[in-house]
Amino acid sequence: MKTIRSKLIVYFFVFVVLFNIVSVSIYVSSNTLTSSYHSSFERFLLLNTISQSANKLYEDTKAYVMEQSEENSHAYYASRKQMKENEQQLQSILADDEQIQTKNYLNLIENIIYESEITTGFVLRDDIERYTAHLKETESTASYIQETTLHLIDLELTEYQSLYLDLQDRNEAFRWFTLFVFTTTVMLAIFFAIWFSNGINKPIQTLTKAAREVSRGDFAGDPVDVRSNDELKLLGSSFNQMRANIHELINEIKDQSEQERLMKELELKHLQNQVNPHFLFNTLNTISKMAYLEDAKSTSNLIDSTAALLRYSLGDIDKYVPLREEVRAVEEYLTIQKTRFTERIRFTVDVDESCLDLPVPRLTLQPLVENAFIHGVEEQEEGGTIQLHIYQKREAAIVEIQDNGKGMSADRIEAILSFSKEEGSSHVGHSTGLGISNVIRRLQLFYRTEHVIEIDSELGQGTKIKLLLPKQNIPAGENRGGGSHESSDSGG
């Protein structure tokens, strides 16, 4: 590889005595500047390596906590060793750096090593509470290291821009020097100016433009093409490598966020995978008795409602449905209950048709209506009432399910809203196997908001459950198709 110094010697050979000091100064300055760039790139690469090593140390620590196998143990100690080596390398590079950010960064590295060691120590002692706490601290420190890495990279980019400005200043000095040479010999000066402009200035401008793009946050631009076979080519190659590494780091962080989102979707699917056949057996028993006591017409209607309800319950629960289908399923359920309890319980359905195309998770309304029946009015000898009211308020559809049953205490309401396992199992419907807590959690995941339900109840005063279904928080790309609907208002 030809160096800038060797090119300068060729063109300044005739003026070796006159310009010897100038030539040496140019070389020393260029070498110093190149060294600065190399140091900057080494820091970029090391920061990126530390960020990845911190994340791997946490993952290996977590794996060792989950399973104390020999393989996991070797992986953990290898990650810890790598982290310590990175720390020593960083200390050697930043030995003269007294900035607070740098000291804090080194402290974070020491802390994650320390927390991982403490975690594995408590694992060996089988102290679950302590190693869990220290594992969380290890995870938190790894996250802080990633954030601090991005901050330090941003500082390095700022310094990187300053180096380019310094290089431009030196370029201006070269132009004055060219003017001086021109006074000595016009022809040689013109030739030197053309060569110098094409050989050095153009790559510098290309790198400067690329540096501005990086400073604006554009890490996916085209690679810098420096065709000169000298230090500038190495500088351009190093710059391209640095930008690619930063881009890769940012993509990794985005991928981690996407993985967290996918985990929530898996949680949604896990909550939805429940079907309880208990209700089917009770209903078929009722159908059998009715077939014995009366003609086939009522029995046929009951069988149709049961089949429709069963078919809806066994549908693809991973997909959303229009609200009108949920209302239709509730009406089929109420038809069955009217047959069972005749005049004992009165059901009322009042629906605003404009709300029925809103997409909702499958099996949202029926478990709540069934809960109102089972835990509210089923034990009443007469006068039981269940009301379903759906209306629009601002940018949301409101679903109210109200009964005049025995009600709930404030403690029980709090347990339901906080997803208590005991309350979840005591409020499970016969037809779906889904409880109130399950419905609440699926709605929160579907609409991506915590505020989806309000429960108003007192012991002996009945219960009102209000669902708040926002239209603007529906996940992108979902179809809002629906079917027909007929509201019913009937007495039991």
**Extents of the domains making up the chain:** 4-194, 316-470
Three-class secondary structure of residue 355 per DSSP:
helix
Three-class secondary structure of residue 347 per DSSP:
strand
pLDDT surpassing 90 at residue 327: yes
DSSP 475: P
In order of 48, 224, 245, 334, the CA distances from 43 in angstroms are 8, 20, 12, 69
| pLDDT value for 487 | 34
Amino acid of residue 20:
N
What confidence tens digit (pLDDT) does each residue in 28-50 have?
Answer: 666 666 676 677 777 778 888 88
The Cα–Cα gap between 34 and 207 comes to 13
What average pLDDT does the segment 144-150 reach?
85
| pLDDT value for 197 | 67
| pLDDT value for 484 | 36
Residue found by looking up tokens 């037809």 in the block: 431
What confidence tens digit (pLDDT) does each residue in 85-134 have?
Answer: 888 888 777 655 556 777 788 888 888 888 888 888 888 888 888 888 88
| pLDDT value for 37 | 67
Three-class secondary structure of residue 443 per DSSP:
helix
pLDDT surpassing 60 at residue 488: no
The Cα–Cα gap between 253 and 436 comes to 36
Average pLDDT of the chain? 75
Tell me the pLDDT band of 255, cut-offs 50, 70 and 90: low
| pLDDT value for 425 | 46
Beta carbons of 302 and 335 less than 8 angstroms apart: yes
The Cα–Cα gap between 57 and 76 comes to 7
What confidence tens digit (pLDDT) does each residue in 441-487 have?
Answer: 888 888 888 889 999 998 888 999 999 999 876 655 444 444 333 33
DSSP 315: S
| pLDDT value for 387 | 93
The Cα–Cα gap between 254 and 389 comes to 42
| pLDDT value for 424 | 46
In order of 215, 356, 402, the CA distances from 329 in angstroms are 57, 13, 17
- Supply the Cα-derived Rg of the chain in whole angstroms: 36
Q: What distance lies between CA 309 and its chain's CA centroid?
A: 37
| pLDDT value for 42 | 78
What confidence tens digit (pLDDT) does each residue in 262-297 have?
Answer: 456 545 554 554 445 556 656 655 765 666 566 666
Lowest mean pLDDT among 248-257, 404-413, 446-455, 466-475: 248-257
Three-class secondary structure of residue 141 per DSSP:
helix
What confidence tens digit (pLDDT) does each residue in 186-215 have?
Answer: 676 677 667 766 767 777 777 788 788 778
What confidence tens digit (pLDDT) does each residue in 340-398 have?
Answer: 777 788 889 999 999 999 999 888 898 899 888 888 888 887 888 999 999 999 889 99
Beta-bridge partner residues of 30: none
Beta carbons of 236 and 206 less than 8 angstroms apart: yes
Instruction: Please report, rounded to a whole number, the percentage of residues in the chain having pLDDT higher than 70.
Output: 68
Please enumerate in sequence order all residues whose Cβ is within 8 A of that of 378, keeping only pairs 6 or more positions apart, or say none: 345, 384, 405
Three-class secondary structure of residue 361 per DSSP:
strand
| pLDDT value for 397 | 93
The Cα–Cα gap between 300 and 308 comes to 12
Instruction: Please report, rounded to a whole number, the percentage of residues in the chain having pLDDT higher than 90.
Output: 10
CA dihedral 161, 165, 168, 170 (to 10 degrees): -120
Three-class secondary structure of residue 369 per DSSP:
helix
10 Å CB burial of residue 328 (0-12, 13-18, 19+) is: buried
Which of 17-31, 264-278, 328-342, 423-437 reaches the highest mean pLDDT? 328-342
| pLDDT value for 220 | 73
pLDDT surpassing 80 at residue 165: no
Secondary structure, 3-state, 283-326: HHHHHHHHHHHCCHHHHHHHHHHHHHHHHHHCCCCCCEEEHHHH
| pLDDT value for 49 | 86
| pLDDT value for 98 | 54
Long-range (24+ apart) CB contacts under 8 A made by 403-406 are: 403/372, 403/373, 403/376, 403/377, 403/462, 403/463, 404/376, 404/377, 404/462, 405/372, 405/375, 405/376, 405/377, 405/378, 405/379, 405/380, 405/462, 405/463, 406/375, 406/376, 406/379, 406/459, 406/460, 406/462
Task: Give the CB-side neighbour count of residue 67, counting CA atoms within 13 A.
Answer: 7
Superfamily the domain 316-470 falls into: Histidine kinase-like ATPase, C-terminal domain (3.30.565.10)
Beta carbons of 384 and 404 less than 8 angstroms apart: yes
- Torsion sign across C-alpha atoms 241, 247, 249, 252: negative
The Cα–Cα gap between 89 and 476 comes to 46
Tell me the pLDDT band of 247, cut-offs 50, 70 and 90: confident
**φ, ψ dihedrals at 274, nearest 5°:** -145, 125
CA dihedral 359, 361, 366, 371 (to 10 degrees): -130
DSSP string, 148-195: HHHHHHHHHHHHHHHHHHHHHHHHHHHHHHHHHHHHH-HHHHHHHHHH
The Cα–Cα gap between 119 and 127 comes to 9
